[in-house]
Amino acid sequence: MKKIVILFTAIACLVACTNKPAEGTVEVSTIDNLKTAITGETNASAKYALLSEEAFKQGQLGIAAMFEAASVAENIHVQSHTAVLNEMGEGIDVVIDVQISEDMEENIQYAIEGETYEFTEMYPPMIEQANKENLTDALRTFTYAKKAEENHAKLYEEALELLKAGKSEEIAKIWYVCPLCGNLYNTIEGFELCAICGAGKTTFLHFEK
C-alpha cells in the first residue's frame, strides 16, 4: 500500500469574520458541511492523482488519463466549496491522508464506492440544509458536485467493466473536465454544453496519456 500525508491549506482566507454566526445556529451547519465537503474532495483529488501515476506505471493509459482528469475535477469542487466558505468568513486547513493499492480493479471499485457515498449520502442533506438556509451559493456548489459525482461513478463503473473483461485498451485515452462544475467526460461528441452547468464544451480541460 502507498500512503501520503500532506498538510494542505485549502483556503486563502483564514481571518475570522466579525459577522461569524454563533455556535448552534443553522448557518454553522452549512459552514460545517462545506468544511466536510472540502476535506473529502481534497483527499479524493490527492488519491486520484496517485492512482493516475500508478495506472501509468502499469501501462493502463486510459485509466491513467481518467484519474488525472478526475483529480482535477475533484479540485474544482474544492475550489468552488472554498470560495463559498470564504464568502461566509470561514477557512479550513486540510490534512490529506490517502492510500492506494497496486490492484487497479480494487482502486476503481473503491473510487466507485467513494463517489456513490458522496452523491447518495453526503451531498443530499447538505443540499437540503443549504436550501433551508436560503444559501444559494452553497446550494449551487453542493448541487453541481452531487451531479458530477454521480456521473463520475457511472464512468468508473464502465471502466471497471472493461478492465475486468480484459478490454482496458477500449477505455478512452482522452478525458475532459468541465471547469465550472467538475463534470467528467470520456467524449465530447454529440453535444455542445455541459449537461450539469451549461458551460460550453470548448472551455473543457482535456487530459491524454
82: phi > 0 → left, psi -120 to 50 → alpha, else beta; which? Answer: alpha
- The pLDDT score that the predictor gives to residue 186 is 97
Domain assignment present for 131: yes
The CATH number of whichever domain residue 102 belongs to comes to: 1.20.1260.10
The answer on pLDDT for 8 being more than 80 is no
Task: Report how many domains make up the chain.
Answer: 1
Domain assignment present for 143: yes
- The pLDDT score that the predictor gives to residue 208 is 95
- The pLDDT score that the predictor gives to residue 59 is 96
Where is pLDDT greater, at 19 or 88?
Answer: 88
Q: For 9-64, write each residue's pLDDT tens digit.
A: 333 333 233 234 444 444 448 999 999 999 999 999 999 999 999 999 999 999 99
Q: Which residues contact 76 (CB under 8 A, 6 or more apart)?
A: 177, 178, 179, 180, 181, 182
Among candidate residues 123, 103, 104, the one with its CA nearest the CA of residue 115: 123
Domain assignment present for 208: no
Burial (CB < 10 A; 0-12, 13-18, 19+), residue 84, is buried
Query: Quick check: pTM over 0.95?
Result: no
* DSSP character string of 4-60: EEEEEE--S--SPPTTPPPTTSHHHHHHHHHHHHHHHHHHHHHHHHHHHHHHHHTT-
- The pLDDT score that the predictor gives to residue 9 is 33
Choice among 75-84, 90-99, 136-145 with the minimum mean pLDDT: 90-99
Name the residue range of residue 49's domain: 2-170
Q: For 163-186, write each residue's pLDDT tens digit.
A: 999 999 999 999 999 999 999 999
Domain assignment present for 11: yes
SS3 of residue 61 by DSSP: helix
Separation between Cα atoms, residue 95 and residue 10, nearest integer Å? 9
Among candidate residues 16, 184, 18, the one with its CA nearest the CA of residue 91: 16
- The pLDDT score that the predictor gives to residue 5 is 35
Domain assignment present for 186: no
The answer on pLDDT for 101 being more than 60 is yes
Domain assignment present for 43: yes
Predicted confidence band of residue 98 (pLDDT cuts 50, 70, 90): very high
Check if the beta carbon of residue 99 is closer than 8 Å to that of residue 164.
no
Domain assignment present for 203: no
Domain assignment present for 175: no
Q: For 114-148, write each residue's pLDDT tens digit.
A: 999 999 999 999 999 999 999 999 999 999 999 99
